[in-house]
Structure 1
Amino acid sequence: MTTNGTNGHHSISRPLKAGIYAPIPSFFLPQSEDLDLPSFENHVVRVAKAGVGLVLSGSMGEAINLSHNERATLIKVARKALDSAGLLQVPIISGIGAGSTRETIELSREAADAGADYAIAITSGYFAGALANNRKALKAFFQEVGEKSPIPVIIYNYPGASGGINLDSDLIVELAVDCPNLAGVKLTCGDVGKLTRIAATVSDSSFSSLHPRKNADAPFLVLGGFTDFILPSTFVNGHGAITGLANVSPHAAAKLFELSVASLKDPSLLPEAQRLQGIIARADATVAKASISGTKYLLEKLYGYGGRPRKPLPPIESGPAEALWQHSHTQDLVHLERELSGKGH
């Protein structure tokens, strides 16, 4: 059972499962830059109903630009929206990235109190010059956060957001073995070889018995950070992805994962999985180049909400925005999403 939002009392069990997760954007009102909670609620429910999990206050959520109180507010609002929509079993993962180990742990406790089921932590890039090649310090960070967090913690490996710090597969496996409150890794380094090496250890049938987790609901998952290698990662016992593209096309991303897993047992499904992977991989590369502002623009075009990032992050300019929308890779994805969501073309 997961403890969350109830002062340590056991609440409903929301297991962490293999699949697709979307790092949910934080939406802001155009003049004040205050949180746009109605758009956030709408999006959380839309994504969850498509069978995609939720990660709040990550890179896509502009966590670096959010206060502690805003992060807690997003958790509370998301939980209420999910419960009101009958999605009581959908877990919430919340980002706890911060400058110091102390603040990261503080955020983990605040996230648990607000109702988060799991946390995801990234190493601070501010002192990357001192940390990047200090294996002992990097391991100590995740060990301490894992030990002191009241909820299971996912390792977030994203060199682009941590000053180039790039955890290697050996260190991640060591952490999985030594830290029973660590519940997985997100690899936004895009390194398929690294994913393969980690999965070879943690997905082995003996791992869970030799190295049981502190929380039985939280196995150690190996998740990609993009949707462009869902199919190959499934065939090396990966567990899915936390991917920004799932905000734009949640049905397509979820279907690709479903087909990838099914094709392990039924090879006749492989050609269709490959077709979807091709469409999604091309779109992922195209949309990722436009970053957070591009994703928000596409949400605005498709669903009527999105808005601008919080300053100093600039909005996408009109020319590149229109080019992104008109790009054949984007349009192919939009058509696929509409087909799979029952909305037609």
Structure 2
Amino acid sequence: MANATNHAHTGPNGASISRPLTPGVYAPIPTFFKAGSEDLDVDALRSHVVRAAKAGVRPLIAGSMGEALHLTHSERIEIIHAARAALDEAGLTQTPIIAGTGTGSTRETVELTKEAAAAGADYAIVIASGYFAGALTKKALKAFWAEVSEKSPIPILIYNYPGASGGIDLDSDLITELAIEYPNLAGVKLTCGNVGKLTRICATVSDASFSSLYPRKNPDAPFLVLGGYADFLLPSAYANGHGAITGLANVAPYTIVRLFELSEGVRTNPSLLPEAQRLQGIVGRADFTIAKASISGTKALIEKLYGYGGLPRKPLPPIEPDAFEALWAHPHVQDIVKVERELSGKASS
């Protein structure tokens, strides 16, 4: 499998820019809407993308947290454009963008992926539609990511999220086969939360020989194994995982980045383990509690902390006021808010 020419990226000054896909923390950025009209609130999106990136969190635009299912194609492209422009204007030209491009059919997914690349996405993450989940055999699922990755101008990540795909849950054997056989696949997000699955996949793709035996089409895009939550970042590091794409990084970006740094550091400096375990406990409890409040709860927390957030787009309901008061007062939430304020204060001082 010969390497192909990298997807070209051009910065604000016209220079060619490489934005490698590297281990770390990524956040599925919410799509913000204006009160009443539900029109895109592009200014809030721009502010949030830059806030997260300055904390070391890289953006995933138009994912599940971004309510991609509630967006038109043109809206998805608009927010990718807006995110790229905001990052460039903030001097964050090296920060890559992942875009969610999964749709109902293979044909439409390919089409949207090409549009996302043209709009400024460096990578795309693709979920299988669950509408006909019962008819999608292993062979059909494999063919789906094979065709999308082969026709995409940018590297593709596999998105394994049974809760949003009609219960489709890819096993470690299938994901590993895809990684070996299709060089334009650049990783997987495991929102199944299965640490054993992560361990089995990493046993192959994180081995030192993998990149030479199965080179990627784009050498800037090695095959990463990313958790879909922040509650197993420390165990993931010991299994040679590569970080996480986590909604909690929208609420507490500095905290999640610090946990990732500690988790990586522990492998060479065991003295960091007690602090990594302490922080993992705080993050794990907060992730469990906040995830149950879903998109509306996360947006309400962002509103409380940063002054923007708003409501989800219908038919998703807003979080009830009493439920939000209970969420905000919950000790798991207060613990991570305290840590986030401490870490963000140190970063800005």
- Per the shorter chain, which TM-score range? over 0.9
Counterpart amino acid of residue 152 in structure 1:
P
Q: Does 1:46 align with 2:51?
A: yes
Q: Does 1:340 align with 2:343?
A: yes
Task: Give 2:151's aligned residue.
Answer: 148
Q: Which runs of 5+ in 2 are unaligned?
A: 1-5
Task: Give 1:277's aligned residue.
Answer: 280
Following superposition, the deviation at residue 129 of structure 1 comes to: 1.5
Residue pair 1:221, 1:239 contacting (<8 A) in 2 also: yes
Task: Give 1:82's aligned residue.
Answer: 87
Among candidates 211, 218, 234, match of residue 208 of structure 1: 211
TM-score (norm 2): 0.96
Following superposition, the deviation at residue 31 of structure 1 comes to: 1.1
Residue pair 1:5, 1:114 contacting (<8 A) in 2 also: no
Q: Does 1:11 align with 2:50?
A: no
The percentage of aligned residue pairs carrying the same residue is 70
User: C-alpha deviations, 1:143-168, integer Å up to 9, x for none?
Assistant: 00000011000000000000000000
Measured in 2, the distance between the counterparts of 1:10 and 1:210 equals 32
Among candidates 73, 78, 81, match of residue 73 of structure 1: 78
User: C-alpha deviations, 1:118-172, integer Å up to 9, x for none?
Assistant: 00000001101211xx110000000000000110000000000000000000000
Measured in 2, the distance between the counterparts of 1:311 and 1:244 equals 20
User: C-alpha deviations, 1:177-200, integer Å up to 9, x for none?
Assistant: 000000000000000000000001
Measured in 2, the distance between the counterparts of 1:2 and 1:253 equals 30
Task: Give 1:138's aligned residue.
Answer: 141
Measured in 2, the distance between the counterparts of 1:108 and 1:118 equals 9
Counterpart amino acid of residue 58 in structure 1:
G
Root-mean-square deviation (CA, aligned residues, Å) is 1.3
Counterpart amino acid of residue 83 in structure 1:
D
TM-score (norm 1): 0.97
Residue pair 1:228, 1:281 contacting (<8 A) in 2 also: yes
Among candidates 264, 268, 272, match of residue 265 of structure 1: 268
Task: Give 2:67's aligned residue.
Answer: 62
Following superposition, the deviation at residue 11 of structure 1 comes to: 3.4
Counterpart amino acid of residue 18 in structure 1:
P
Q: Which runs of 5+ in 1 are unaligned?
A: none
Measured in 2, the distance between the counterparts of 1:5 and 1:165 equals 37
Counterpart amino acid of residue 17 in structure 2:
I
After TM superposition, the structure 1 = structure 2 runs for residues 1-345 of structure 1, keeping only pairs within 5 Å, are: 1-4=6-9, 11-131=16-136, 134-342=137-345
Residue pair 1:3, 1:10 contacting (<8 A) in 2 also: no
Following superposition, the deviation at residue 306 of structure 1 comes to: 0.4
Measured in 2, the distance between the counterparts of 1:221 and 1:3 equals 21
Following superposition, the deviation at residue 4 of structure 1 comes to: 4.5
Counterpart amino acid of residue 109 in structure 1:
K
Measured in 1, the distance between the counterparts of 2:8 and 2:53 equals 21
Measured in 1, the distance between the counterparts of 2:186 and 2:169 equals 19
Counterpart amino acid of residue 203 in structure 1:
S
Residue pair 1:153, 1:184 contacting (<8 A) in 2 also: yes
Measured in 1, the distance between the counterparts of 2:71 and 2:249 equals 22
Counterpart amino acid of residue 238 in structure 2:
F
Following superposition, the deviation at residue 90 of structure 1 comes to: 0.1
Measured in 2, the distance between the counterparts of 1:186 and 1:323 equals 30
User: C-alpha deviations, 1:266-291, integer Å up to 9, x for none?
Assistant: 00001000010000000000000000
| Number of residue pairs matched by the alignment | 340
Measured in 2, the distance between the counterparts of 1:329 and 1:37 equals 31
